[in-house]
Amino acid sequence: MLLAIAWRNIWRSRTRSLVILIAITLGLASGIFYMAFYKGMLDQRINSAIKTEASHIQIHHAKYLTNPDKKFVITSTDSVVQAIRAEENVKAVSSRLIVNTMIQSPTTGSGVKVTGIDPTMEAQVTNLHSKLIDGSYFEEDRRNPIIIGEKLAEKLKVKLKSKLVITVQDMAGNITGAAFKVVGIYETSNTSFDEKNVFVRQTDLSRLLAIGENTSHEIAVLLTQNEQLNPVARKLRSELSNLSVKTWREIMPEVSLLESSFGLTMYIFIGIILLALLFGIVNTMLMAVLERTKELGMLMAIGMNRVRVFAMIMLETVMLSLFGGLCGIILGWLLNLYFGATGIDLGAWSAAYKSMGFDTLVYTRLSWSISLQVAIMVMVTGIIASIYPALKALRLKPGEAIRIDM
């Protein structure tokens, strides 16, 4: 019976109830949509970090990451690769040679990271081959082909079939170099990556460095699922104790920080919205109590005890909050589903977002667990908001309340 009375009381002042309901709905919908947008950006950045830049796990010589010198190599690479492939959750493995050096075009030069890859193995680990906007992915059997980023191509003022000279110091300490022909130009969502990374065949780079066969600087590992990251990393560390085994979170701490801060960001943002709504709900219900002072006094005078009056006011507040919260969650999810399919184009700010490694077309993503957490927070907010108006009604004295002229 109290539920029916509380529901009718909410709609006694339709305009006021609708205003607060709309405020709750729009506030929560905007909060949920923001979290879906942020989660979409974050997931796309993590996906790019794993599938384009770092892979799930990287293995190096124990001293390589602290001092990336070409002499710190992984010997017997084939046996290490076979041991990694034997792991249950490993999808693909690729070995690489890496050297940080200068690359020169006919007009200018730039410092780059030259990565020597096996094109077939690399295509299974990263999606570099799908990022080409011009040329081909080492398809032609030519000597010294090279793939560079669009940003670097603009900087060096080169195009497809242009020649670039890479100068390195080989393993014996001799300065040497070779001319490479641009066979492909790629573009990722990270302009910094595009400007600093070029890719050549592993055999060409090993010949230039005069490095032995079956040797590499880095082994990239792609897993079947990101959830298996830590268990596989722990197992590889125990089996390859003489090598450095790092996850993408350790290699790219800035991306890991974004991932770990998502939960805190969600609670802070939704908390601010609910705090603002809390005062609105309290104000609305307090006005409702003050307007019904004589009515509440009469109810208590004819025998309605104070506990039931307190419960009635609390029910009105909680029902108002829950109804508005439910509408807000539904609206937020509709927006999430729509923009999750069509995406949000951030082309106007593409340069800024790409410099930080974010895609300019963001697809919103949200889990039901987050919506459940928001629903619980709305319920708690409604309970908190109901306490003061209910206490105000509880303090009414029936004799004085009845004599008040409304």
Least confident of 73-87, 141-155, 358-372: 358-372
Instruction: Write down the domain spans for the chain.
Output: 2-49+256-403, 63-241
Q: What percent of the chain has pLDDT over 70?
A: 88
What's the number of CA atoms in the CB half-sphere (13 Å) around residue 210? 10
pLDDT at res. 295: 65
Give the Cα separation of 197 and 112 in Å (integer).
6
DSSP 184-242: EEE--S-HHHHHHEEEEEHHHHHHHHTPPSS-BSEEEEEES-GGGHHHHHHHHHHHSTT
Output the CA torsion sign for 184, 145, 119, 55. negative
91 pLDDT tier (thresholds 50, 70, 90): very high
Mean of the pLDDT values across residues 117-126? 92
Mean of the pLDDT values across residues 65-83? 89
pLDDT at res. 125: 93
pLDDT greater than 90 at residue 156: yes
pLDDT at res. 266: 80
pLDDT at res. 119: 92
Mean of the pLDDT values across residues 7-35? 81
Which tens digits make up the pLDDT trace of 277-312?
A: 888 888 877 777 767 666 666 666 766 667 777 777
pLDDT at res. 184: 93
3-state helix, strand, coil in the chain (%, to 5): 60, 20, 20
* Whole-angstrom Cα Rg for the chain: 31
Find where tokens 């079956």 sit: 214
Which tens digits make up the pLDDT trace of 248-279?
A: 999 888 888 877 787 788 888 888 888 888 88
233 pLDDT tier (thresholds 50, 70, 90): very high
**Average pLDDT across the chain, whole number:** 84
Q: Which tops the pLDDT comparison, 59 or 258?
A: 59
pLDDT at res. 356: 66
134 pLDDT tier (thresholds 50, 70, 90): very high
Pairing of the two strands 243-247 and 57-61: antiparallel
Q: What percent of the chain has pLDDT over 90?
A: 33
CA angle 104, 108, 112 (to 5 degrees): 50
Q: Which tops the pLDDT comparison, 259 or 26?
A: 26
pLDDT at res. 368: 81
Mean of the pLDDT values across residues 126-151? 89
Per-residue tokens: 168: 């390195």
What angle, 0 to 180 degrees and rounded to 10, lies between the N-to-C axes of helices 14-48 and 306-342?
40
pLDDT at res. 32: 87
The reported pTM is 0.78
Q: Which tops the pLDDT comparison, 80 or 213?
A: 80
pLDDT at res. 296: 64
pLDDT at res. 276: 83
Q: Which tops the pLDDT comparison, 111 or 290?
A: 111
Q: Which tops the pLDDT comparison, 203 or 393?
A: 203
Q: Which tops the pLDDT comparison, 313 or 101?
A: 101
Give the Cα separation of 62 and 64 in Å (integer).
6
Cα 332 to its chain centre, rounded Å, is: 19
pLDDT at res. 219: 94
pLDDT at res. 293: 67
pLDDT at res. 235: 92
pLDDT at res. 216: 93
pLDDT greater than 70 at residue 399: no
CA distances from 280 to 16, 19, 54, 316 (A): 11, 10, 48, 14
